[in-house]
Amino acid sequence: MELFPAVLALTLLSISPGLDTLLTVRNAARGGVTDGVVTSFGICSGLFVHALLSALGISVLLMQSAMLFGALKLVGAAYLIWLGWGSLRQALRGRGQQRAADSVQAVARFRVSHWRCVREGLLSNLLNPKTIIFYMAFLPQFIDPAGAVLPQALLLAGLHFVIAMSWQSLLAVLTCRMRAWVRLPVLRTLCHAVTGLVMVALGVRLALARI
């Protein structure tokens, strides 16, 4: 297995803007660097599940079953819309809390448990059927059929984990370096509103798309 082409492809995939980036930045802006990093950990942990399923051929069964794959697509779309609605609700609440938003107590109300961040990241990754398609198309390009498939698949997932977590953690740090801006009530409300609308739009697009 040639690692350099795989690392290059995984790096380009990781830095491409998408839902993973949006979710990491949103949670970092909401709760700090740690929230962004643990969200990324949840997202990237799902890569091992996709690699395992692909190696075992379960993803092939999903892709060949229109009913199962369609159900997975709708569940993923519903989850994205639910996340987006959560951000929109925070934006609506923020409109009535602009005076208190500068206090420590007001900022603390936006903090959530680390487990919730991990769960949001993991579910957003596992419920995305496009990730299944990517791994089904990606893994065969770099796996040596003469060797054991599962160890190679997990190695690629491990490389993807390191690259994606490094990139998303950097984004979390950069986001929090701008906390002085993010804490401004109007900008924070705008941030929640924009990310909420984008997530809802992604969910609707996923539900309607023919994958």
Neighbours of 62 (CB within 10 A): 20
User: Is the pLDDT reported for residue 1 higher than 90?
Assistant: no
Neighbours of 23 (CB within 10 A): 26
Residues whose CB falls within 8 Å of the CB of residue 100, separated by 6 or more in sequence, listed in order: 106
Q: What is the mean pLDDT of residues 45-60?
A: 84
User: Is the pLDDT reported for residue 180 higher than 50?
Assistant: yes
Whole-angstrom distance, CA of residue 62 vs CA of residue 64: 5
Instruction: State the average pLDDT for the chain.
Output: 78
User: Is the pLDDT reported for residue 118 higher than 70?
Assistant: yes
Whole-angstrom distance, CA of residue 40 vs CA of residue 42: 5
The backbone region for 117, taken as left when phi is positive above 0, alpha when psi lies in -120 to 50, beta otherwise, is alpha
Read off the tokens for 35.
């929230």
User: Is the pLDDT reported for residue 102 higher than 60?
Assistant: no
Domain count, the chain: 1
Q: What is the mean pLDDT of residues 80-102?
A: 67
Q: By residue range, what is the domain housing residue 198?
A: 3-208
- pLDDT recorded at residue 6: 82
User: Is the pLDDT reported for residue 141 higher than 50?
Assistant: yes
- pLDDT recorded at residue 108: 43
Q: How much is the pTM?
A: 0.74
User: Is the pLDDT reported for residue 100 higher than 50?
Assistant: no
